[in-house]
Amino acid sequence: MADDLSEDGLLDGRVRLRQPRQGFRAAIDPVLLAAFVPARSGDVVLELGCGSGAAFLCLGARVPGISVRAVERDQALAALAQGNAALNGVTAEVHAGDAREIQDLGPVDHALANPPYWTGGTASPDAAKRQAAHEDAALLDWIAVMARATRHKGTLSLVLPASRFAEAAGLLGDAGCGGVRLLPLWPRAGVAAKRVLIQARKGGKGPDEVLPGLVLHEADGSPTQAAEAVLRGASGL
């Protein structure tokens, strides 16, 4: 099993991530998602579909002292995430199973998720990539579980394809979460966003906001200084 894993560094080496060499591997989405969560030391955080733990590990590196509850339906990945938490000194309890069937996830101060994003189309032939990218549960189910577990005034944060932000905002509202904040992630300046970060507060009544957003790359493909500050410097968004 050890030969099937690689150990990679996130946040300029602040996070040690053991993950499978083949199949779905962490990219920048979980790092950006973690940077968007307004957690403070002492908060309890829930992550759904944590994979090998990249997002909650990055959040724990940026905000020492949080406690994590995480769910991952793949038992091998759940065990890997639990081991990665210990490797990085993050207090975490990782449940292996379907979050829709686990009753004791809350109450938490913040919930986050990077849910599968394709509702149709051709699935990857790789089983791990197919499971990570193609929906089994609807976005409605992910948001419902997150909202049920989150305290009043706590936050729910997701990273999604830009094409699904209206759907997500509507579902968050239906779940009793308001004050939606939308942060576009632009590949380059002048190029339409492919991903967005979206956040709402349970019981929130404030106005919705479109935030300034983040340009990820310069015209030559190199990371922007703002992106480097998040992806390597562990800055929040």
CB 52 within 8 A of CB 16: no
- 74 contact partners, CB below 8 Å, separation of at least 6: 51, 96, 128, 131
Number of domains present in the structure of the chain: 1
**DSSP string across 151-176:** EEEEEEEEEEEGGGHHHHHHHHHHTT
Residue 16 lies in a domain: yes
Residue 214 lies in a domain: yes
Instruction: Say how far apart CA 168 and CA 208 lie, in whole Å.
Output: 13
Residue type, 183: L
pTM for this entry: 0.90
Residue 84 lies in a domain: yes
Tell me the residue range of the domain where 140 lies.
2-231
Q: Is position 167 within any domain?
A: yes
Q: Answer left, alpha or beta for residue 179, where phi above 0 means left and psi between -120 and 50 means alpha.
A: left
Per-residue pLDDT of the chain in tens (237 residues, 90 and over written 9): 567 999 999 999 999 999 999 877 889 999 999 999 999 999 999 999 999 999 999 999 999 999 999 999 999 999 999 999 999 999 999 999 999 999 889 999 999 999 986 454 444 344 444 444 434 569 999 999 999 999 999 999 999 999 999 999 999 999 999 999 999 999 999 999 999 999 999 999 999 999 999 999 999 999 999 999 999 999 999
In a domain, 15, yes or no: yes
In a domain, 236, yes or no: no
Residue 237, domain member (yes or no): no
106 in any annotated domain: yes
Q: Are 84 and 52 in contact (CB under 8 A)?
A: yes
CATH of the domain at 63: 3.40.50.150
